[in-house]
């Protein structure tokens, strides 16, 4: 198992505010939530893993759900809504990609790299988002306020160039997101299995998206 790097999810300022026990609790919770799921994990297990008293957890997090939220919310910003990161915006959401295929490669590579580096937290999101209404609402808000305006500009540029069909932007985005997320989830779940070839699956995914969206002109 790769070491859990909280710097991927929390700002430097936030990490400086945390003490060693809080950090250990978060690391332990991430590891056990990813392995067993939120509902099957007890705070006692987390406390033992973090080498703290169970009551110590509640000094920092009012409930087990608050502990989950403290993990998922910043992760949503960087995993599902990575437009907040300058490095992502420069790599993906800009107008310098010559082709729609270049854009897709940049998008997929960026998200695949992040998912592989942070498998445990990505697994938690996959497992828990369907059951956490508050997290779903947060995801919708992030998407509407932050992601949509940026990606809509990029996709409209490819429509204007005649590289993809003149479909409504929400439709284009839905088709891309659902397919790319499926690939990313598969890469987390199936990595190191004999039948999984990431490069081949990435190429096939891009071909599939292009076949559905590219203009025939």
Spans of all domains in the chain: 6-65, 72-213
pTM assigned to the model: 0.69
Contact 180, 210 (CB under 8 A): no
For domain 6-65, the CATH superfamily is Homeodomain-like (1.10.10.60)
Domain 72-213 in the same topology as domain 6-65: no
Q: Residue 80: pLDDT band by 50, 70, 90 thresholds?
A: low
3-state secondary structure of 132: coil
CA distance 217 to 206: 19
Instruction: For 116-143, write each residue's pLDDT tens digit.
Output: 877 777 788 777 777 778 778 877 887 7
Say which range, 18-22, 55-59, 203-207, has the weakest mean pLDDT. Answer: 18-22
Residue given tokens 């990431």 in the structure block: 198
pLDDT score at 8: 63
pLDDT score at 205: 95
Q: In the CATH hierarchy, which top-level class contains the domain 72-213?
A: mainly alpha
């Amino acid at each position: 198992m790769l070491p859990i790097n909280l710097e991927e999810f929390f700002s430097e300022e936030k990490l400086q505010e945390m003490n060693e026990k809080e950090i250990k609790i978060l690391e332990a919770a991430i590891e056990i939530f990813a392995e067993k799921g939120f509902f099957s994990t007890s705070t006692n297990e987390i406390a033992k893993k973090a080498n703290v008293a169970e009551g110590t957890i509640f000094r920092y997090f009012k409930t087990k759900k608050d502990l989950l939220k403290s993990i998922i919310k910043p992760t949503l910003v960087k995993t599902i809504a990575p437009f907040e990161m300058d490095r992502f915006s420069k790599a993906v959401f800009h107008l310098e990609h010559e082709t729609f295929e270049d854009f897709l490669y940049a998008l997929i590579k960026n998200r695949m790299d992040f998912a592989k580096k942070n498998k445990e937290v990505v697994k938690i999101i996959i497992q828990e988002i369907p059951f956490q209404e508050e997290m779903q609402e947060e995801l919708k808000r992030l998407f509407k306020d932050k992601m949509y305006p940026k990606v809509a500009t990029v996709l409209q540029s490819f429509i204007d160039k005649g590289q993809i069909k003149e479909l409504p932007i929400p439709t284009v985005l839905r088709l891309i997101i659902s397919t790319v997320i499926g690939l990313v989830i598969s890469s987390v779940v199936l990595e190191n299995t004999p039948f999984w070839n990431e490069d081949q699956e990435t190429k096939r995914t891009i071909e599939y998206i292009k076949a559905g969206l590219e203009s025939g002109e």
